[in-house]
């Protein structure tokens, strides 16, 4: 008999504890969204230099070192910081570091230049031997204040969720309480190029064109952020 009573008491205590753990508050769960479009102000340019022969007999070669000196001097003169001028790749060398190159080989070097003004790039291009420029193109672009923009959008998305919850609840005579849970929804930003310019091959017929960048209609960077929020209903 004592065993039965003890079991009954345990059951009562278990039910009481369970009822105390169950959240009986009235809640509403909503999503809020915020969007923004910005014009990119950081541009990454890809550029390739290639050795060439000055004469038809392929005896007088313009070395890659000469072309690189021209490019580096032009970059510094345009006011582009040294750290924004990088070598991406070196190709077509035989024993490059020891300078044991075959006369038939034409070396190439690819560079990556970070600029904030396309006119600077035009200035750089015009200072480099155009016959040594194999190609140039826009690799990618970004926005310098992207981190602050992401924070602002998250706040606006959360405020939008609150506004939505508020007008839904007040429409049925209720009132909105405190937030119980806030979750960020798939808010990842990857600064990939939205627009890529066509590769600009340099031909001998176009050497007098100053090798400038064409007019480019940049598409804006669009960001969309979502926040999920759970509010108590009073």
Over range 214-223, report the average pLDDT.
66
Question: In angstroms, how far is CA 32 from the centroid of its own chain?
Answer: 24
What's the pLDDT score for residue 208?
41
- Quick check: 54 pLDDT over 70? yes
CA distance 80 to 65: 20
Mean residue pLDDT of the chain comes to: 79
Confidence grade of residue 93 (pLDDT, cut at 50, 70, 90): very low
Residue identified by tokens 């929020």 is 229
Alpha helices in the chain (DSSP H): 2-21, 64-77, 118-126, 146-170
- Quick check: 184 pLDDT over 50? yes
Strand 133-142 relative to strand 108-115, pairing: unpaired
Q: Which pTM value belongs to this model? A: 0.67
- Quick check: 196 pLDDT over 60? no
What's the pLDDT score for residue 210?
38
- Quick check: 212 pLDDT over 50? no
Query: Which of the pair, 137 or 70, is modelled with greater confidence?
Result: 70
pLDDT tens for 105-157 read: 788 899 999 998 878 888 888 899 999 999 888 888 889 999 999 999 999 99
Over range 151-178, report the average pLDDT.
95
The CA-atom distances, in angstroms, between 84 and each of 44, 74, 87, 122 are 9, 13, 10, 16
Confidence grade of residue 179 (pLDDT, cut at 50, 70, 90): very high
């Amino acid at each position: 008999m004592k065993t039965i009573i003890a079991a009954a008491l345990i059951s009562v205590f278990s039910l009481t504890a369970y009822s105390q753990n169950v959240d009986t508050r009235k809640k509403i769960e909503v999503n809020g969204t915020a969007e923004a479009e910005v014009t990119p102000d950081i541009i990454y340019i890809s550029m390739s230099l290639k050795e060439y022969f000055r004469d038809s007999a392929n005896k007088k070669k313009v070395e890659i070192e000469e072309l690189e000196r021209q490019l580096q001097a032009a970059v510094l003169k345009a006011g582009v910081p040294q750290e924004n001028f990088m070598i991406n790749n070196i190709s077509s060398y035989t024993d490059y570091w020891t300078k044991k190159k075959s006369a038939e080989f034409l070396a190439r070097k690819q560079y990556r230049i970070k600029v904030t003004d396309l006119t600077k790039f035009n200035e750089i291009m015009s200072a480099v031997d155009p016959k040594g420029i194999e190609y140039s193109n826009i690799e990618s672009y970004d926005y310098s204040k992207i981190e602050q923009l992401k924070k602002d959008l998250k706040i606006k998305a959360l405020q939008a969720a609150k506004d939505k919850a508020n007008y839904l609840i007040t429409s049925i005579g209720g009132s909105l309480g405190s937030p119980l849970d806030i979750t960020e929804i798939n808010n990842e930003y990857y600064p990939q190029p939205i627009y890529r310019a066509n590769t600009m091959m340099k031909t001998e017929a176009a050497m007098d064109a100053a090798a400038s960048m064409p007019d480019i209609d940049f598409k804006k960077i669009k960001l969309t952020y979502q926040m999920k929020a759970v509010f108590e209903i009073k």
